[in-house]
Amino acid sequence: MTTPSNSGGAPGGSGSLPKNVLLGVTGGVAAYKSPDLVRRLVARGCDVQVVMSRGASQFVTPITFQAVSGRRVRDELWDEAAEAAMGHIELARWADVVLVAPATAHFIGSLAAGLAGDLLTTVCLATAAPVVVAPAMNRQMWANAAVQANCRVLTERGIRILGPGAGEQACGEHGMGRMLEPAEIAAALLDAAGGDASAPRPLAGVRTLITAGPTREPIDPVRYITNRSSGRMGFALAAAARAAGADVVLISGPVSVKTPDGVRRIDVETAEEMYRAVHREISSVDLFIACAAVSDYRPHAAATEKIKRSEPEMRLDLVRSPDTLASVAALPNPPFTVGFAAETQNVAQHAREKLERKRVDMIAANKVGPDCGFDRETNELTVFWHGGEVHIGEASKDVLAERLIALIAEHYAKRGARAAEPKGRAAEQKDGAAERRAGAAQPTAGAAEFASRDTQQEPSE
Ligand SMILES: Cc1cc2nc3c(=O)[nH]c(=O)nc-3n(C[C@H](O)[C@H](O)[C@H](O)COP(=O)(O)O)c2cc1C
């Protein structure tokens, strides 16, 4: 047996990767990428001890990992020689960080349930080190409600979830569920484990939920109402919040923007779906930033067949979509809540009204129009809170996001973290009540021209 020697390397600290990385490999196709991950971590000066699940060795042999890590692979809980010295506890103490890549649905479920059926899951329960998992699975498995619920449990317990990404899958399908590339995981690990101690991390550990992008409200199977939001501002906020140390979940409408490293992304399409996704996450959130350009109105009923070009005129009956921002601010114990306001005129006046009416903590307002706001590389913001405001001049959305996150962190620190509110039956009932208050659809005056008035929607990009 190879007994790992504890180098005493603390996670991060000097800006380098943690010294002792315990890499768990479980039984998914993406395991073929894990030797490359080991190689990259070793090249950055880490000692990597691989622990394989039984399933993992169906995909890659232990000899391969031994060759790249220089250490004998551990894969057996019932190892008489190792356990003579309580090997599983020794491993758990040795690790500066436990990284599981790929993490199967089975492993994620076991960890969420607190099961310790093999060496890897036992070490994960026994360690005091940060645990980071990189899921990899078929897109339907990833979308499965049980897997999503298990991931939420892990996030709530402080376990970082890296990815997954979207793309071509081993099964021939296309969608979310691909393990992040080894280079991305290695880079994210630096951040996950404490990273550069000299970098300011004013949102360290703050559970942050951000919405981004537009929504699409179907008219018929091929047409929808949407707006010009690109999603870039919301994604830049997610990256900036992550860099500031937050645990970030990003709920996004349809966009083509890359998910920032270390951010868990949930894709939705309609305002209703965004509303529900937010309320599924919100009980475990300290900070909520509503940056999505959610459609205020949606067609009363989407036609089931494509509408034909027959009549000279047609009218759309629209109903109001649920108001996600107001419903979160109205919760009995709301997170620190930041909204966006996109206005074509009287920006300051409308933003202040919105701050008061929706009872949020901050509003970031911007002017939108033909040459500013939506779907552009740059923007400018005026940020309002109760008793103050500040203007952030024109800059790239990345720079604006960094400044806005710094401002939010300052005000968040003054207000203090949200009291813990476990998502029990009572909390669900409260959420349900808020949903009913904000979600009641209201018919509007015949508003066939609404699509051209999109700029009056809540937030902006
Ligand atoms: C060819 C093949 C590929 C698989 N790929 C995956 C995968 O990518 N992700 C996943 O969660 N499970 C996948 N599975 C299922 C797991 O291997 C199975 O759930 C196993 O029990 C996982 O055990 P472990 O998590 O202990 O390794 C695959 C199974 C087979 C036969």
Task: Note whether 175 and 211 are same-domain residues.
Answer: no
pLDDT in tens, 266-320: 999 999 999 999 999 999 899 999 999 999 999 999 999 999 999 899 899 999 9
Task: Note whether 87 and 212 are same-domain residues.
Answer: no
Instruction: Check if the beta carbon of residue 192 is closer than 8 Å to that of residue 160.
Output: yes
Averaged pLDDT, 225-249: 92
Of the chain, the end-to-end C-alpha distance in Å amounts to 56
Task: Note whether 174 and 278 are same-domain residues.
Answer: no
Determine the longest span between alpha carbons in the chain, in angstroms.
84
- Centre of ligand 1 from the C-alpha of residue 235, in Å: 31
Whether 52 is in a domain gets the answer yes
In this structure, of 80-84, 170-174, 434-438, the range with the lowest mean pLDDT score is 434-438
- Quick one: DSSP state of residue 294? -
Task: Note whether 368 and 400 are same-domain residues.
Answer: yes
Q: Ligand 1 atom closest to Cα of 107?
A: 25
Dihedral over alpha carbons 115, 159, 430, 351 (to 10 degrees): -170
User: What CA–CA distance (Å, rounded) separates 347 from 365?
Assistant: 7
Number of domains in the chain: 2
Whether 452 is in a domain gets the answer yes
Task: Note whether 126 and 234 are same-domain residues.
Answer: no
Averaged pLDDT, 63-69: 96
Strand segments (E) across 371-448: 378-385, 388-396
pLDDT in tens, 187-228: 788 654 444 434 567 898 899 999 999 999 999 999 999 998
Whether 11 is in a domain gets the answer no
Task: Note whether 183 and 217 are same-domain residues.
Answer: no
Q: At 88, which CATH number?
A: 3.40.50.1950
**Amino acid at residue number 452:** S
pLDDT in tens, 5-45: 333 333 333 334 578 999 999 999 999 999 999 998 988 88
Task: Note whether 274 and 377 are same-domain residues.
Answer: yes
Task: Note whether 59 and 98 are same-domain residues.
Answer: yes
User: What CA–CA distance (Å, rounded) separates 311 from 343?
Assistant: 34
Which residue has 């300011």 as its token pair? 200
Question: Could you tell me the residue range of the domain that residue 291 belongs to?
Answer: 207-456
Residue with CA nearest ligand 1 atom 14: 28
Residue with CA nearest ligand 1 atom 13: 28
pLDDT in tens, 136-153: 999 999 999 999 999 999
Within a 13 Å sphere around the CA of 192, how many CA atoms are in the beta-carbon half? 29
Ligand 1 site-directed mutation target among 32, 106, 119, most atoms within 8 Å of CB: 106
pLDDT in tens, 96-118: 999 999 999 999 999 999 999 99
Q: Which residues pair with 174 in a beta bridge?
A: 168
Residue 154 pLDDT > 80, yes or no? yes
User: What CA–CA distance (Å, rounded) separates 232 from 244?
Assistant: 18
Known catalytic residue at 171: yes
User: What CA–CA distance (Å, rounded) separates 296 from 342?
Assistant: 12
Task: Note whether 31 and 177 are same-domain residues.
Answer: yes
Domain ends where: 192, 226, 254? 192
